[in-house]
Structure 1
Amino acid sequence: MFSDFGFHLSRAWWLDLGFGLVLGWLLMTSIFVVELAAGWIRITGYFQTISEIPFASAFLVSALLFVFVGISEELLLRGYLLTNLAEGFRWFRWITPKVAVGAAVISSSAIFGIGHIANPNATPTSTFVITLGGIMLASGYVLTGELGIPIGLHISWNFFQTTVYGFSVSGLQLPVTVIATEQAGPQLLTGGAFGPEAGLIGVGAICIGTIAVVQWVTFREGSISLCSQVWTPEIR
């Protein structure tokens, strides 16, 4: 059942999805504004596509692509893999739930980072930063037991990164963007050709995003704690 992997689709689930979408937009917009103000990027055009496909059609296809990527990757890496790792670690009775979930978060996030190692312009730094991004995405799941926050955040982070602001997303450049940009700043900070996910500015955004997720869950639920369904299989 999809509900076992974070798809209960309650009112709270949809609120979390909306929060994730807004958070991804805010984080990537902040990166764009900071880099633009610092002179690390140069705007080269608007509403561009390098194919013969009309801009509106290419824009829509890009949006649908990132919806698919956000749902499928979160279902696989957080909903399925993280959950099964946490449940597996709990077979060792001396491992506490917190340790089991922590180990599952780190393991699944490392796999997330390694999964991008063959992308264009990937570096050890990009693998590390994407692993941190996996921890940010996992935080919403382990605190709520639902995939609303990570799916929303994953979709808008990717979509605004490349389709709106023209950065490379994990080293990949889509043939459509609202604002075409060219990197000019130090690679250590901006991530260079790989995009913000390989630079310190990406690390900063991920740290802020993780804090925002914790604050949101605290606001919505009144407190925060690890959700037991992450490591406890439902009995039917």
Structure 2
Amino acid sequence: MTVSTIAIRPLWLRVLQFPPTRIVLLGGIIFYMMAVNNGFMEDFKATPVVAIAITIGMGGLAMAIYAGWGRFIERREVTELSLPGMGREWATGALIGAGLFASCAMILMMLGMYRIEGLNPLSFLIPAVAMALSSGIFEELFFRGVVFRSVEDLFGSWISLVVSSLVFGFIHLLNPGGTIEGAIYISIEAGLLLAAAYLLTRRLWMSIGFHMAWNYTQSAIFSGVVSGGVTLPGLIRDVIEGPELLTGGSFGLESSVIALVLCTTAGVILLMIAVRRGHILPPPWKR
């Protein structure tokens, strides 16, 4: 049945179903939409509610395009975006993301490197919402939904874990404050953790929740620099002083040993659970 079905599929469809084509076309569409949305966020940064509304609309459209590609081009059920269990998985990822960043900040406080000088009005919590939504939706659709799945189809989960993590980390060199050290740290700590969240559930909601919550907590609450890019004043007025090895310097806390240890440990734990659940896909020659 399967062989016959594949044999009668037209050539154009088989080309579109080829994983590298998925990366170029579907990935290109999502990446372009992310860039356009980032432009809108910059244009409407003085009116953050408008930026949030645009990001929700653009993010919903990106999800619809992703789901449509899976349904009509790949001819499969797009389980990674199915709604049952979405809230639970998103909330779990969000708790992990917010908890890990808060733990990093508390360690810096205990070391005397993070000092709170006061609080800003609650309205300072609003501007970072659009940024968190954008990074959580677009980046997870692209890096885990497109890149990870495509490389996994070709070479299996382990190689895909390495490749997608490196691509995810080094794409941050495009940020104004991007550094090689920051890119390497993100590849290890965040690339592993986010891919492990996907492997654990074989769905995107947990990684989306983590990504949103980490970035939002870092920017909106702790007023931190997000991956060498976003620098918005948040709720807490703080002063961070200490060696870049521990504070992350101008790149942000992702480039610190503290985040590297905590996030990598969490990622390894999730990955071990995913392995026990049998969610690791071997390469095609071993299937």
Q: How many angstroms apart in 2 are the aligned matches of 1:102 and 1:153?
A: 21
Instruction: State TM-score, norm by structure 2.
Output: 0.66
**Aligned length in residues:** 209
Question: Does the 8 Å contact 2:118/2:237 carry over to 1?
Answer: yes
2:84 counterpart letter in structure 1: S
Q: Does 1:9 align with 2:83?
A: yes
Q: What is the aligned counterpart of 1:135 among 173, 192, 201?
A: 192
Q: Does 1:152 align with 2:209?
A: yes
1:86 counterpart letter in structure 2: E
What value does the CA root-mean-square deviation take over the aligned residues? 2.4
Partner residue in 1 for 2:278: 225
Partner residue in 2 for 1:70: 136
Partner residue in 2 for 1:205: 262
Task: Select the structure that is richer in helix.
Answer: 2
Q: How many angstroms apart in 2 are the aligned matches of 1:15 and 1:27?
A: 18
Give 5+ residue unaligned stretches, structure 1.
Answer: 49-54, 90-99
Q: Deviations over 1:81-114 (max 9, x none)?
A: 110111123xxxxxxxxxx211111111111111
Question: Does the 8 Å contact 1:83/1:231 carry over to 2?
Answer: no
Report the CA distance between 1:43 and its aligned residue. Answer: 2.1
Q: Does 1:18 align with 2:94?
A: no
Report the CA distance between 1:175 and its aligned residue. Answer: 2.7
Report the CA distance between 1:217 and its aligned residue. Answer: 6.3
Q: Deviations over 1:170-227 (max 9, x none)?
A: 0134333011222201111221111111110110121232145357769xxxx52225
Question: Does the 8 Å contact 2:125/2:221 carry over to 1?
Answer: no
Moved more, 207-216 or 168-177: 207-216
Report the CA distance between 1:60 and its aligned residue. Answer: 2.4
Q: How many angstroms apart in 1 are the aligned matches of 2:83 and 2:141?
A: 14
Question: Does the 8 Å contact 2:218/2:225 carry over to 1?
Answer: yes
Q: How many angstroms apart in 2 are the aligned matches of 1:23 and 1:231?
A: 30
Higher relative contact order (CA 8 A, sep 6+): 1
Q: Deviations over 1:20-52 (max 9, x none)?
A: 00011110110111101111122233126xxxx
Q: What is the aligned counterpart of 1:32 among 88, 92, 105?
A: 105
Q: Does 1:126 align with 2:179?
A: no
CA gap 1:227/1:6 in 2 versus in 1, 3 angstroms: farther
1:70 counterpart letter in structure 2: G
Question: Does the 8 Å contact 1:86/1:104 carry over to 2?
Answer: yes
1:181 counterpart letter in structure 2: D
Query: What SS does structure 2 have at the residue aligned with 1:177?
Result: coil
Percent sequence identity over matched residues?
Answer: 26
Moved >6 Å (runs of 4+): 215-218
Query: What SS does structure 2 have at the residue aligned with 1:116?
Result: helix
